Amino acid sequence: MREITFSQATLEAMDEEMARDERVFVMGEDIARQGGIFGQFKGLPQKFGTERVLDTPITETAIVGAAVGAALAGMRPVADMHFADFMGVCMDEIFNQMAKIRYMFGGQITVPVVVRAPDGLINQAAAQHSQSIEAWFLHIPGLKVVAPSNPADAKGLLKSAIRDDNPVIYFENKALFNQKGPVPEDEFFVPIGKANIIKEGTDVTIVTYSIMTKTVVKAAQMLEKEGIKAEIIDLRTISPFDKDTILESLAKTNRLAIAHEAVKIGGVGAEIAATAAEEGLDYLDAPILRFGASFTPVPFSPVLEKAYTIKAEQIAEGIKKMF
């Protein structure tokens, strides 16, 4: 199978969906003139015109607000946030408008908005351009939240998100954009709400998503040398997360660990751990482990940034103590 980058995979998804449905358009900062800061919109203005690939002023409030209005008028907008960190500027449009309108109208209207949000650590981008904020949106009813870990899932999830009649927050880790992986040439979709078991095991279940999936795979390889067989679940969708797959795995392995790049306190891992404790307590033979970043802003210093990042060795050592 051919290999392309994460960025190219999302570009293909946009190209295919815009060609299929003239109601699909994209708007954001510097996407027509620059093609997106990660190349994820390169060539779209030339193919579809600047009426469907819109450069906007630097105002996230206007971008998301206009996207919500366009969706209510029958369009299928994709709103690019440049960096996920900037979503705080337009939170009212996201959690008071986009997330609630379909419910408030009794399902008589749809809100097919995709908000693309590049998130996560990238070399010395510091405290205001490096955050992983997916847990904010897990707490908001009415939103779907996805976070792919590889190019194939990036394409398949984006296509599913664009065709969904509900608002979807699409987190795409900045460090993944240049990473390559196999992507089918035929059209395909990754269903929202369905996790992927990327490695089967019998001794411990490790739940992860996005960039941390690669770190967890390395940790599992270390554990394999110690005779510990880890089962790895890539969530892919954070809301609604695939509870059934997690509990079925936990019933088999009897141990659970969760790892994400985001801050540990109040993170996605906390919700998964609580769900496992409420609904799968009888399966557990050891305390649940959570791995996440320290409760501090992301440092600018290279040394501190490296210390802030969760390592495969930390995950492997922590899990070994469960036995």
The residues assigned a catalytic role are 129
Instruction: Quote the tokens at residue 261.
Output: 């790049």
Question: How far apart, in whole angstroms, are the C-alpha atoms of residue 148 and residue 157?
Answer: 7
CA-closest candidate to residue 276, choices 206, 200, 219, 210: 206
Instruction: Quote the tokens at residue 4.
Output: 């392309």
Q: What string of DSSP letters covers 67-79?
A: HHHHHHTT-EEEE
- 222-226 long-range contacts (CB < 8 A, ≥24 apart) are 222/312, 222/313, 222/316, 223/316, 223/319, 223/320, 226/316, 226/320
Question: How far apart, in whole angstroms, are the C-alpha atoms of residue 168 and residue 113?
Answer: 6
Instruction: Quote the tokens at residue 296.
Output: 């501090």
Contact 135, 303 (CB under 8 A): no
Instruction: Quote the tokens at residue 85.
Output: 């960190």
Contact 209, 234 (CB under 8 A): yes
Helix (H) or strand (E) holding 259: strand 256-263
